[in-house]
Chain A
Amino acid sequence: MMKRLRIERATGQLLVARSGAASNPGSTALRSSYRAAQVVPVRHQSSYSSFEAESQHPSPIYEEDGTDHSRFPPLEKLPPLTSTLPSPLPERALQSAKLAALHARLSLSPKIPLQTLARTLVDPSADPNPHFNNTSLAFLGSTIINYHASEWFMVHYPRLPMDVFYAAMTGLAGPAPLNRIAKSWGIESAAAPGGEVDSGLLQFSLDSPGESVLGFGYTRTIVDKINKNNWQRSVNSKIIYDDDFGQVVSRPKPKPKPKPKQQEEEQEPQVELDQEQDQDQEQDQEDGEYLYNPLPPKFSPTSYGSERTRELSEKAHANFVRAVVGATYAHCGREQAKAFVKAHVLSRYLDLERLFAFKHPTLELALLCAREEFDPPVARLLSETGRLSRTPVFVVGIYSGNDKLGEGAGATLEQARLKAAMHALKAWYLYSPGEGARVPSDVLESGEEEGLGKRMRTWEPVYVDIGELISR
């Protein structure tokens, strides 16, 4: 346990000069000096380490930060130029004790390699290269989590109004609960992302969040106007256009386009440096490599603890949980992913009663009774005490014919009546066929091992409601 495998002691790292390093005519003296210094290790994303006979490269005495490592040996021997990378090399995942502990703590299947788990911890804001960050896994995971959460709500609470359904989805599978799940797994985040960071730490950047994916879903063409003018959206359009939580999917910021070469030469060398770097980065992302950005990070300690940083942190944590679900699906399959979502997401407690906010409960109850062809609701005083005292209590029941729909106690007659109407409406909207109701994905399960056999695979239709009251 304590003696880690020191693979990198036996081997070096393949060193490759950047393509076209000193051949660009537009390069200034400053840039060429940068380029000469940039020797970038090649990264490979695979579940086996790709160390081969590279020991002819002696490890450099001077690292890129100028530290004399013969005098100050590092705690962990890293491959050369590791800190030039935006995220740790996938091979280093095998040496991270934190990562192995996390794998065991989540009881993940041994089919999920540590390299994949390390990849789920790299946010796109830390490493924009999609081959090494968790965007694809997080997208896969979000579709799986949202599917299982929504089918669970649809089957178990078929009469939920759409707005409440979206609130319930946000409360169970949105970024805030997923953030809490990540925290409850004991995830620690790195102070700043980089290649030298332990693979078991969550890595996201507060400096360049623009690179990351903002949301998963369809972007409305009028999204800017909706955000600017606070336009109301109908429930139907939310269902069709917006994401799984009824939120508008914002448009990602367009990347600044590199200008033509001639204009570039006339500009200041510093500006030119930036743009060239962007170009190179885009090129290299296609090649599966990443170039070190030598500009100092625009990090300020005051940026900690603001609303914005909390939001970024929440998003990074949520995307990590989604990516773990995506990794479970990719390596272990559908049933394991479903079991994982059930164990970690759906098992959490969410009181749906607290999600309702009624404006005119009595009117709504009257409309509901009219639609369902019940007798019109009548409020009756059931019991009271202390009418003339300082603390009176009235208990009012709402009746439709002889059936009591709801009951509420309040300090005034009006309050008690409203409470009773709200209870009646909640009793209607929160109808549930019970815990044993089967969701559609149960049909896909192979239940032979549990002796359930054929029953699991045949679908019995569930209750489908005609819908909530149409608002006027």
Chain B
Amino acid sequence: MAVKALKAVSQGRNGVGAFILQCKRIDLHYCDWAGSSRGMNGFIKSLLPKFAAAHPQIEFTISPRPAKHPVAIGHYINGRSKPICVRNMEPYEILKKLELLRDASGEKLKKVTKPVRSINESVRGIWSPYHGNGMQL
């Protein structure tokens, strides 16, 4: 007769309690020879050290990829990755792209129509037709 218990697992709410940045790794590929990598090479030399120091929670890996366009690939906690081709871009444009990778959640892009999504119960409750005094016709 006593109450039996069911199983449930708690749901995470990133930002409530602790915030974990979703971007965990950024791979940067460059080419020493090709002109499309000129901006990338400049970025790696001039801007990357500061950007990487400002974001210790992201692992940066740099590797050459000869005879290919430069690319920045973000890897996310949900297992997805987001590659951005940065050919012919200036260093500051690439910085913008890296900021985009940093701020992304890794989810597929989708149109957000409602401003707030929440798993909390509605404070007002749901309107019920069976309660209240009703409308006098």
A contacts, CB < 8 Å to B? 1-2, 97-98, 100-101, 103-107, 161, 163-164, 166-167, 170-172, 176-177, 180-181, 183-186, 342-344, 346-351, 354-360, 363-364, 382-383, 385, 393, 395, 409, 425, 429, 468-472
Contacts and interface: CB of A to CB of B under 8 A. Distances in A.
Contacts of B62: 2
Contacts of B6: 167, 354-357
A472 B1 contact: yes
Nearest to B28: A2
Given A184-B12, A343-B17, A97 B2 contact: no
B12 A181 contact: yes
Interface string B119-133: 110000000111100
B33 to A, nearest CB: 20
B18 A166 contact: no
A258 B7 CA distance: 43
Given A97-B59, A385-B130, 20 more contacts: A1-B49, A2-B48, A2-B60, A98-B59, A163-B2, A166-B5, A167-B5, A167-B6, A184-B12, A184-B20, A185-B20, A347-B18, A349-B10, A349-B16, A355-B8, A359-B1, A363-B1, A364-B1, A385-B129, A468-B2
Interface stretch (B50-58, B66-74, B86-94): B50-58
Contacts of A349: 10-13, 16, 119-120
A359 B3 CA distance: 7
Interface string B6-46: 11111111101110110011000000000000000000000
Contacts, number: 137
Interface residues of B, number: 39
B12 A104 contact: no
Nearest to A425: B3
A360 B3 CA distance: 9
Given A97-B61, A105-B21, A347 B16 contact: yes
23 contacts: A2-B48, A2-B49, A97-B60, A106-B20, A161-B2, A161-B3, A167-B8, A171-B8, A177-B10, A180-B12, A184-B14, A184-B20, A348-B11, A349-B10, A349-B120, A350-B9, A355-B8, A356-B5, A359-B4, A364-B3, A395-B131, A409-B130, A470-B2
B102 to A, nearest CB: 12
Q: Max chain A CB contacts within 10 Å: which of B1, B53, B62?
A: B1
A176 B17 CA distance: 19
Residues of B contacting A: mostly: loop
A354 B3 contact: no
B9 A1 contact: no
Residue among B5, B12, B53 facing the most chain A CB atoms (10 A cut-off): B5
A164 B59 contact: no
A356 B3 contact: yes
Contact of B18 (A344, A350, A357): A344
Contacts of B85: none
B77 interface: yes
Contacts of B3: 161, 163-164, 356-358, 364, 425, 429, 468
B109 to A, nearest CB: 21
A448 B69 CA distance: 57
Minimum-distance CB pairs A-B, first 4? A347-B17, A471-B2, A167-B5, A104-B56
Contact of A167 (B7, B12, B57): B7
B25 A101 contact: yes
Given A180-B12, A344-B18, A355 B59 contact: no
Nearest to B56: A104
Nearest to A105: B57
